[in-house]
Structure 1
Amino acid sequence: MRYAQAKLRGKLITNLSDLYKVYRDDYRGNAEALTTFLTEGVGIKRHFASSIASALLDLAEARSELAGEDGGDASSGGGEGGSQERMVTLAVEGNISAGKAGSKSTFLNVLSHEDTCLHDILKVVQEPVQQWQEYRCRDIEGNEKMENVLEKFYSDPDRYAYSFQHYVLLSRVREDIKSRARDGKQLRVLERSIFSDRQVFVRAMHKEGKMADFEVSVYNQIFDDHLNNDLQLIPDGFVYLRARPDVCLQRLKRRSRSEEASIPLDYLRMLHENHEDWLHEQSVSAEALVQDPLAHAEVLKPASDEYVRHVLQSNPDFKTEVLPNSEWRLATLQHVPEEIRGQVLLLSGAPELPQLKNRLALVMDHDQDVDIDNDADARAEYANKIRAFYDFVRQWKHEEEREQEEQQQLQQLLQALGRAGGNGGQLASL
């Protein structure tokens, strides 16, 4: 079967899903026509080609029996979806005082304004700052008291950096879980996610020596445990409000939050660099991916013939996972809505956070303040961009879920065929 594998990969058919798609879409379930293609078009010997086509016929029939002859794909319609559809969750990320929330003219207030296109579908989850400012605890004698954890962190970060970051993580997780009830809303917008804590703020404390190596390792272990136990903590997309550090400092002084009075410009610059590294450097624009898909073939679509030959020659024990079948991503990125064209990034996922791979991010420059009371055009522009991004992420999410479901079904059916002693064994090595 190695001979057949090599021939198929030469035609960009790298796994069972690819082959089934060819059989279903190009040959309409005609096993004889597929056999001819595999023999004459691919170059596989006829007895192998006939076995493969026969196995795919069995696979298609078994799939029809499980799904119902005319059952269709419930996730492919692109409509409003059933009652089981989760809300789309976007996390708004940005520097301290980038303009996310906290004053009348900030980004989340713009989105929530009653005359925007988002008002009826939007649920906003703001940072639990009050919990950080009013933490109830007990002294050694059991007397209850209130502590301002945020103030303690800023006044003595060497002592309290780890305690603060750990509590921020716990409080975000708690608020995330509490806010998942749909309440008739289709879009949930978080003011920051747990990922900015790890990728931006904990990294800053580590760089400055405010958190020791072992403290960061403990934090990361706790973070990973939360994430592995609850994948809904991963937002469906990110909105990055990019603002210059000097602009953030001006806004910080204007909002006059007492705990932040001592924040220096250098600290804001470090946070800005960490945001850029996470949400900009570890990503690639949708336009670049469409123009140069070969450079990112492992993310977007099966590679070119030349790349396949290179992989086969340099990796004798080639695994099909090297070239996953994700061509729908490229097709989707070719149709980024006009309102946000040139602003959408595809995250590559840091090595320590592979869960963020292929998540979408919208970059919005946010150096200018918006007067939401008097500037209706600016309100509408902001809201329309987020609405367009929401629709785009929703479409992306549907395609991902459909792909995952199809892969699971194919594997289950293949295992069933193998147990039944049919032709499934001919496909097992693909």
Structure 2
Amino acid sequence: MPCRLTPTRQFERLVCLRNVSQTTRRRGHRQVLRMYRCSRQALDTAYKVSLCVEGNISSGKSTFLSEVLSSASRLEDLVYTVPEPVQSWQSVPRKSASNPPHNLLKEFYTNPERYAYVFQNYVFMTRYLQERQSAGTSKLLRITERSVFSDRNVFVESVHEQGWLSELEADLYNAWLYPMINALPSLIPDGFIYLRVEPDVCMERLQRRARGEELNITLEYLESLHYKHEKWLLQDVRALTVGKKHQETLTIGFVTDHMCSQFKKKPVLILEFGHDVDFSSDDKTVEQLGKKVRAFYDYISDE
């Protein structure tokens, strides 16, 4: 039967045996330290799940993170949310701190042909830094707004098709992207949540929020992004009944990325998010969404 003592107690017992030789104690010390390191590593990684919320511009990702995931009782004390680093894109420090920062997001939307490649490079770096900063959370479920994979499969593809990214720039982006992801596998999530919204609804929401940098966005651009989200995330879709104590029937797809050697088939929770809801007062909808996310978390944890 395996010993039930903690590594610390095992070590104390070993070093307190006066009649045991120094060599034996050193061996015991090393053995316990190995056990301690293994137990700490297991504790740090056990049952932790990383998900990314994907969706079109103005599909409701920020609302989903801030109002749904933080309010649902099923997710209480479970979720750590990481919003998209938009502020980093809006405030790029200058060499001289006395000068106002650059707004790279505004520059991209104002002159996409000039800044598309620069913007996508900086987006990758900020996502990596954000992943590192949030990696130490003690919560069992980390949910991040978008990923380097939506950057590649949706936004880079779209700006390339629009003619804002040259053939050389697109090839250059791909040349460094996948080696970087393979070298930094923590950027690969355990799964995705896709907030599915029609482009015209996204356009209405975009106009309501009136973010200055987004004033030049067209419905045609949103339709292009929607098509690419659908093509990427709606693969091998099926209805699955999942969950531990509380079972839920979820719509789940499965995506692969053959360009990334460490990216195995990943599940995608598909949520229809096209109806405008006041989540601050609609507790029923919040709880329903929370149940689905919790069941999806249980499903991934059991894999």
- Tell me the TM-score normalised to structure 1 length: 0.58
Structure-2 separation of matches of 1:163 and 1:223: 14
Residue 345 of structure 1 is matched in structure 2 by: 253
Distance 1:215 1:380, change over 3 A: same
Structure-2 separation of matches of 1:136 and 1:202: 24
Instruction: Report sequence identity in percent.
Output: 39
Instruction: Please list, as runs of the form range in 1=range in 2, the aligned pairs for 1:275-314 lying within 5 A after superposition.
Output: 275-280=229-234, 283-287=235-239
Residue 258 of structure 1 is matched in structure 2 by: 212
Instruction: Please list, as runs of the form range in 1=range in 2, the aligned pairs for 1:182-201 lying within 5 A after superposition.
Output: 182-183=137-138, 185-201=139-155
Structure-1 separation of matches of 2:72 and 2:150: 30
- Secondary structure of 1:167's counterpart equals helix
Please report how far the alpha carbon of residue 342 of structure 1 lies from its aligned counterpart in structure 2 after TM superposition. Answer: 4.8
Distance 1:211 1:87, change over 3 A: same
Residue of 182, 185, 190 corresponding to 1:236: 190
Structure-1 separation of matches of 2:75 and 2:250: 22
* Alignment-mate amino acid for residue 108 of structure 1: L
Residue 320 of structure 1 is matched in structure 2 by: none
Does residue 175 (structure 1) correspond to residue 83 (structure 2)? The answer is no
Please report how far the alpha carbon of residue 354 of structure 1 lies from its aligned counterpart in structure 2 after TM superposition. Answer: 5.0
Q: Is the 8 A contact 2:49 2:140 kept in 1?
A: yes
Structure-2 separation of matches of 1:375 and 1:145: 41
How many matched pairs?
A: 261
Residue 271 of structure 2 is matched in structure 1 by: 364
Give ranges in structure 1 of 5+ residues lacking alignment: 1-73, 75-80, 288-332, 397-430
Structure-2 separation of matches of 1:149 and 1:339: 45
* Alignment-mate amino acid for residue 262 of structure 1: N
Q: String of CA shifts for 1:94-115, please: whole Å, max 9, x gaps.
A: 00000001xxxx2112333345
- Secondary structure of 2:163's counterpart equals coil
Q: Is the 8 A contact 1:117 1:387 kept in 2?
A: yes
Greater fraction of residues in helix: 1
Please report how far the alpha carbon of residue 359 of structure 1 lies from its aligned counterpart in structure 2 after TM superposition. Answer: 0.7
Q: Is the 8 A contact 2:250 2:269 kept in 1?
A: no
* Alignment-mate amino acid for residue 236 of structure 2: V
Does residue 161 (structure 1) correspond to residue 113 (structure 2)? The answer is no
Instruction: Please list, as runs of the form range in 1=range in 2, the aligned pairs for 1:97-108 lying within 5 A after superposition.
Output: 97-101=58-62, 106-108=63-65
Residue of 331, 336, 358 corresponding to 2:242: 336
Distance 1:339 1:255, change over 3 A: farther
Q: String of CA shifts for 1:198-240, please: whole Å, max 9, x gaps.
A: 0000000111111111111211222123211111110000000
* Alignment-mate amino acid for residue 182 of structure 2: N
Residue 227 of structure 1 is matched in structure 2 by: 181
Structure-2 separation of matches of 1:211 and 1:384: 41
Please report how far the alpha carbon of residue 86 of structure 1 lies from its aligned counterpart in structure 2 after TM superposition. Answer: 5.9
Residue 71 of structure 1 is matched in structure 2 by: none
Structure 1 stretches (4+) deviating beyond 6 angstroms?
none
Instruction: Please list, as runs of the form range in 1=range in 2, the aligned pairs for 1:377-396 lying within 5 A after superposition.
Output: 377-396=284-303
Q: Is the 8 A contact 1:111 1:119 kept in 2?
A: no
Q: String of CA shifts for 1:387-406, please: whole Å, max 9, x gaps.
A: 0001101111xxxxxxxxxx
Please report how far the alpha carbon of residue 156 of structure 1 lies from its aligned counterpart in structure 2 after TM superposition. Answer: 0.3
Please report how far the alpha carbon of residue 353 of structure 1 lies from its aligned counterpart in structure 2 after TM superposition. Answer: 3.6
- Secondary structure of 1:364's counterpart equals strand
Structure-1 separation of matches of 2:282 and 2:104: 37
- Secondary structure of 2:52's counterpart equals strand
Structure-1 separation of matches of 2:261 and 2:272: 27
Q: Is the 8 A contact 2:182 2:262 kept in 1?
A: no
- Secondary structure of 2:58's counterpart equals coil
Structure-2 separation of matches of 1:167 and 1:83: 30
- Secondary structure of 1:147's counterpart equals coil
Please report how far the alpha carbon of residue 384 of structure 1 lies from its aligned counterpart in structure 2 after TM superposition. Answer: 0.7
Residue 86 of structure 2 is matched in structure 1 by: 129
Taking only aligned residues, the RMSD between alpha carbons, in angstroms, comes to: 2.1
Distance 1:354 1:343, change over 3 A: farther
Q: Is the 8 A contact 2:72 2:290 kept in 1?
A: no
Distance 1:116 1:110, change over 3 A: farther
Q: Is the 8 A contact 1:87 1:182 kept in 2?
A: no
Q: String of CA shifts for 1:71-101, please: whole Å, max 9, x gaps.
A: xxx9xxxxxx744426200100000000001
Structure-1 separation of matches of 2:77 and 2:219: 38
Q: String of CA shifts for 1:183-209, please: whole Å, max 9, x gaps.
A: 3x1000000011000000000011111
Structure-2 separation of matches of 1:161 and 1:239: 26
Structure-2 separation of matches of 1:197 and 1:285: 22
Residue 90 of structure 1 is matched in structure 2 by: 51
- Secondary structure of 1:390's counterpart equals helix
Q: Is the 8 A contact 1:110 1:382 kept in 2?
A: no
Distance 1:115 1:192, change over 3 A: closer
- Tell me the TM-score normalised to structure 2 length: 0.81
Residue 14 of structure 2 is matched in structure 1 by: none
Give ranges in structure 2 of 5+ residues lacking alignment: 1-37
Q: Is the 8 A contact 2:52 2:146 kept in 1?
A: yes
Q: Is the 8 A contact 1:110 1:383 kept in 2?
A: no
